[in-house]
Structure 1
Amino acid sequence: MSDQPIAEPYALDTGRAAHSAAYSPLYQQIKAMLLQSLDRGEWKPGEPIPSELELAARFQVSQGTVRKAIDELAADNLLLRRQGKGTFVATHYEAKVRFRFLRLAPDDGRQQATSSRVLECSRIKPPADVAKQLDLRTSDQVFNLRRVLSFNDVPTIFEDIWLPGALFKGLSTELLAEHKIPLYGLFESEFGVSMVRAEEKLRALAAPTEQAQHLSVQTGTPLLQVERVAYTYGDRPVEVRRGWYLTQHFHYRNSLN
């Protein structure tokens, strides 16, 4: 099977993407098309994707080209290979995926029980900076979720989260209380929104009064602030999250590859 440019039925959706694809390696074009299928929900989180042979036939390329595209998506934690079972769409119910986004780790390395307490969940107009980060207008509606995360029942993280109202219709304090699952897992199963990557900014600061109260520390206590913008497929921003982390017994863990 010859690895020639992809036939028209599988051309990239946008003119800009198609133009870029013409100058990218063939496996990158296949990767882009697989991402489009994931974005459209052709294969749901936790479901298997077709075999490499089936995808090679579909895209009219070699199995090796498909394998290289899948390898990159697996390295990005968007797909998960399971020995003897096939390749599956990553889900936030998988520990490997879930803990990509929880970077706070105890200094002693011991596993700790985590719990979440939702303070409020309201529908509001976004602050100007949040609207810009979410590619929204300030007149659009967002859900503002505020909560405290505890480790071994000790309040450790205060979070302020903004989500586009159009994508998360029906989000409520009651829904959050009813589902005792990871937040990104809830977004995935209830709203069909998968968080696939995030960008973060970190800074050290003194605890503001409100955050200090919720974390049971004195105002001015040193905290680590983490601001995250999370994206779904197509690099569409779908969450802004600001967290204030108490780090007396914790550290922020990252791996640089």
Structure 2
Amino acid sequence: MTKKALRREPLYEQIKTVLIRRIGDGEWLVNDCLPSEWDLAAELGVSQGTVRKALTALVSDGLLYRRQGLGTFVSETPGDWGEGAMLTPGLFNERPDPLVQELIGVSRSHASDEMADALQVRRSAPLVRVRQLWRLGGVVVALDDAYLPAESFEGLDARWIRQAGGGVHAALQQRFGVRARCVGEQVRAVVPPREESLLLGLDPEEPALAVLRLSAGMDGAPVEWRQRYCRSRFWSWTRREKW
């Protein structure tokens, strides 16, 4: 690191950015232990206190976690599904079965007024669209369309997403050092468009639960606008607490 590079913002923020980039480059994988604060300080040419402040910020952001007496480790990437769960209506004590994610494809799109406002991009700005299905016991229960600013995530494609384990959020963290977190969520009942209804196996005019979610990176900048349709005739969507 050079002195010139460290002048523009607080020193610990620069160290934080360096560590995020190195994690994104795959230098340390999920559950890997980072070097000690003293070793990182010596390598980066800063004080141990500065490194500790950067690591503490990354722990608060969720990118890292600490184990007393053992060190600081890379956290698992949050899944694309988020905090909700699909349950049998009326069974509050039911433990949700795991949902299986299926990547349909990656394409290009353009930002609508609503998307542009949420993602803080210009109207009609190029977006990457990632379409996914979710299955429960082999049955399709939900459909996602995730939209991300193409200029911020150049090169994001189906190959990268599959290599990351099939998730958009995993690809963002592994390829770009961006850890996405939900910052806003809206739920309402709608009749999905015809194509989405067919993919979900809905009857004509059958309603679904529409979950609109906005995710941001650790710096607070919006990174993903996600539209999800959930089948609701036989399943209920509920906020995940503890199971």
TM-score by length of 2: 0.71
Q: How does 1:195-210 map to 2 (within 5 A)?
A: 195-210=179-194
SS at structure 2 position matched to 1:148: strand
SS at structure 1 position matched to 2:219: helix
Q: Which residue of 2 aligns with 1:225?
A: 210
Q: CA deviation at 1:35?
A: 3.5
Q: Which moved more, 1:109-118 or 1:126-135?
A: 109-118
Percent identical among aligned pairs is 21
Q: Which residue of 1 aligns with 2:85?
A: 104
Q: Which residue of 1 aligns with 2:71?
A: 86
SS at structure 2 position matched to 1:170: coil
Q: Which residue of 1 aligns with 2:47?
A: 59
Q: Which residue of 2 aligns with 1:186?
A: 171
Q: Highest relative contact order (Cα 8 Å, sep 6+), 1 or 2?
A: 2
1:146 aligns with 2:131: yes
C-alpha distance after superposition, 1:209-232 (max 9, x if no partner): 423322212344443322222222
Contact 2:101 2:132 in 1 (8 A): no
Q: Distance in 1 between matches of 2:147 and 2:202?
A: 25
The number of residue pairs the alignment matches comes to 226
Q: CA deviation at 1:44?
A: 5.0
Q: Distance in 2 between matches of 1:10 and 1:51?
A: 23
> Gapped runs of 5+ residues in structure 1?
1-7, 19-28
Q: Distance in 1 between matches of 2:17 and 2:154?
A: 24
Q: Which residue of 1 aligns with 2:91?
A: none
C-alpha distance after superposition, 1:27-79 (max 9, x if no partner): xx95x55543344447655354342445678336499xx38x75564354221
Q: CA deviation at 1:178?
A: 7.0
Paired residue type of 1:98: G
1:251 pairs with 230, 237, 240, which one?
Answer: 237
1:165 aligns with 2:146: no
Q: CA deviation at 1:144?
A: 1.8
Instruction: Return closer, same or farther for 1:106/1:168 CA change in 2, 3 Å cut-off.
Output: same
C-alpha distance after superposition, 1:157-216 (max 9, x if no partner): 111211121233334456656765333223333x32423322222222122242332221
Instruction: Return closer, same or farther for 1:135/1:41 CA change in 2, 3 Å cut-off.
Output: farther
Contact 1:208 1:219 in 2 (8 A): no
Q: Distance in 2 between matches of 1:77 and 1:163?
A: 21
Contact 1:38 1:233 in 2 (8 A): no
RMSD after superposition: 3.7
> Gapped runs of 5+ residues in structure 2?
89-93
Q: Distance in 2 between matches of 1:40 and 1:115?
A: 27
Q: Distance in 2 between matches of 1:13 and 1:255?
A: 41
Instruction: Return closer, same or farther for 1:33/1:99 CA change in 2, 3 Å cut-off.
Output: same
